[in-house]
Amino acid sequence: MRGVVNFVSGDKAPILNDGQAAASIVLLGNIGRSIWPAFERWRGVPANKDAQNPLDTWSKAVIGPVALEFGATAYFPSDPPWQPFQQWAMRADDLRPSPLGILIHPEYGLWHGYRGALGFGHFLPAALPVRHAHPCDTCSDKPCLSGCPVAAVLTSGFQIAPCRTHLKTAEGKTNCMIAGCLARNLCPVGTEYRYQPEQLRFHMAALNL
Ligand code: B12
């Protein structure tokens, strides 16, 4: 569980399966490597080996039954129309945007993500997150801004086109595709939560369309 959002009037709440606007959502996702062993076990089953978009498929296989059991509506980050997972996440947890576009947390940095959300027609108990200083504001070196070999990480935002072009070059194939995004790897926050090598490679392969 990655946090709870209770919607107030004026919010654009997601629509539940019964057609009503949700009163609350529970966000679900990973911190660091937390989901990886379970995902790898699932992928090791012969029937799942050739699944398309395996991490999204696994997320649905795990979260779908939980939604049924609790009478909730399940939302998934990869399903169009895209739900505003990052806006929800910033309300539910102590997160702010980093220059990479990924939300940064004071403890686990850039090493976390979302696998789904459960929507409910009633409000849920939710503690407001304790807000700390934004780690990027107090980071004087900002290695993420200089670490990308093609300068795809700018203060104005992440540029996907030069990144993807580079990932297809010999250099991209031997560094970013193997070690993970070099700019993300250079972030000094939450390094102990950094994804394991196969997890980094999996996400780079997903980005390299
Ligand atoms: C489209 C998309 C992308 C596009 C961005 C295109 C664009 N310029 O908008 C591309 C393909 C570039 C991308 C890349 C990545 N993404 Co992305 N992406 C999404 C997706 C599916 C939709 C975003 C959206 O438009 N939402 C709809 C609007 C209404 O929601 P929102 O909350 O208001 O939108 C916010 C985002 O759009 C964000 N934003 C704008 N531009 C960009 C660019 C990037 C790179 C990111 C990450 C966010 C971002 O700012 C908005 C305000 O908060 C979300 C999932 C989701 N449903 O949100 C994941 C999501 C934002 N991505 C995520 C991640 C982790 C990545 C990657 C790191 C994955 C990877 N394989 O390496 C890379 C980043 C690469 C890097 N080196 O940093 C995570 C972020 C988690 C976090 N900690 O914040 C999300 C939430 C998916 C998840 N399952 O957790 N992504």
Please give the distance, rounded to the nearest whole angstrom, from the Cα atom of residue 72 to the centre of ligand 1: 24
Instruction: Name 35's bridge partners.
Output: none
Model confidence band, residue 27 (pLDDT cutoffs 50, 70, 90)? very high
Q: Which residue owns the Cα nearest ligand 1 atom 55?
A: 77
CB 57 within 8 A of CB 64: no
Q: Is 185 in the pocket of ligand 1 (CB under 6 A)?
A: no
Q: Is 6 helix (H, G, I), strand (E, B) or coil?
A: strand
Q: What is the length of the chain? A: 209
Which residues are within 8 A (CB) of 59 and not within 5 positions of it... i.e. 6 or more apart? 76, 115, 116
Mean of pLDDT over the chain: 96
Report CA torsion sign: 38, 44, 47, 48: positive
Global pTM exceeds 0.85: yes
Tokens of 77: 């980050």
Domain boundaries, the chain: 3-120, 143-205
pLDDT digits 0-9 by tens, 71-97: 999 999 999 999 999 999 999 999 999
Q: Is 12 in the pocket of ligand 1 (CB under 6 A)?
A: no
pLDDT digits 0-9 by tens, 134-178: 999 999 999 999 999 999 999 888 999 999 999 999 999 999 999
Tokens of 13: 């709440």
pLDDT at res. 209: 82
Give percent of the chain with pLDDT exceeding 90.
97
Which residues are within 8 A (CB) of 204 and not within 5 positions of it... i.e. 6 or more apart? 167, 176, 177, 180, 181
Please give the distance, rounded to the nearest whole angstrom, from the Cα atom of residue 132 to the centre of ligand 1: 23
pLDDT digits 0-9 by tens, 46-75: 999 999 999 999 999 999 999 999 999 999
